[in-house]
Amino acid sequence: MAPALYALYMATSRKKSTASQQSASAHCPHPQGVLIPIGGAEKQGVDNKEHTAPDDMASEPVLHRFVKELTLGGSVLVIPTASEEAEEAGQEYVDIFKNLGVSQVNVLNIQSREQANSEESLRLLEEAAGIMFTGGDQLRLTALLGGTKLQRRIKERYTYERFVVAGTSASAAAMSTPMIYQGRNDAGMLKDEIHITTGLEFLHDVAIDTHFVARGRIVRMAQIVATNPACIGLGLEENTGVVITEGRELEVIGEGLVVIVDGLSCSSTNIHEIEPGEPFTIRDLKVHLLSHGERYTLPIIEQMHV
């Protein structure tokens, strides 16, 4: 190709690329809502007294921030679907939120996909300024909610309204895509020890893991990042969470650490070459340890469907 024609081709290509990016950005709005994944907790304060609680409960200081993010006078909808003791978990959060000054708290205990598609469930969702997913089993949550009218409406409200979505422990892990759903605390060194599937899709290209430091889960997160370094690992310690605005601006809240595992600039990995059951390699991971009040912009790419 002649130099003049090549220069014209490159200039035209750049214009088309810029136009495509602008068009994609217009169709990929930053979420107007607030996302608060929480790493679980060991103790829960109620009425200024400490008592032992399940390790998937969110701590009161973190929940106080959730309440603060609600629109003035907004009600809370608790969804305890992930829990094996859903009624008990739902009532515990009702008591906690009322103790924190929320006047209206409802519980939506989804136990079937039919219920997740019902008009009553959608009505309760429309009345809420924010929702709280309890801990439990993330696969139960996605199996019952994935692709339902309720899930789609939550995503719409999170995208286009100042709607607050919070979840603790397993429900925090379910917020993102990909979602970790199986793997021992000491697993992750060997290929295929960790299993992932599609989560509730509030965050794309981010894998969330909870109880992260206490249960030594950084190696299993590293394996997930090795399988696709475009995925950012977000590890949440107990009594700790993050407030995410605009789909990527992150603020750390709570008592512990948030661990960011970034493989975008990794120089090599052998995860695609080794056999299942063999230890994997990944070089030049970038890891950030962030404490209360620290801010971070997730280096994720807007979803473009062109």
- Tokens 């907790």 belong to 41
211 is catalytic: yes
Between CA 145 and CA 143 the distance in angstroms is 6
Give exposure, 172-183, as e/b (b: 16+ Cβ within 10 Å).
Answer: bbbbbbbbbbeb
- CB 60, CB 44: distance < 8 Å: yes
Between CA 83 and CA 170 the distance in angstroms is 9
Options 69, 211, 237, 251, the catalytic residue: 211
Options 169, 171, 176, 251, the catalytic residue: 169
Residue count of the chain, please give it.
Answer: 306
195 is catalytic: no
Between CA 288 and CA 220 the distance in angstroms is 16
DSSP 279: B
Question: Can you list the alpha helix ranges (DSSP code H) found in 28-148?
Answer: 60-69, 86-99, 113-116, 119-127, 138-145
Options 69, 92, 238, 251, the catalytic residue: 238
Sign of CA dihedral 157, 159, 165, 171: positive
Which residue type, as a one-letter code, is found at position 196? Answer: I
69 is catalytic: no
Among 150, 86, 98, 144, residue whose Cα is nearest residue 124: 150
Catalytic residues: 169, 211, 238
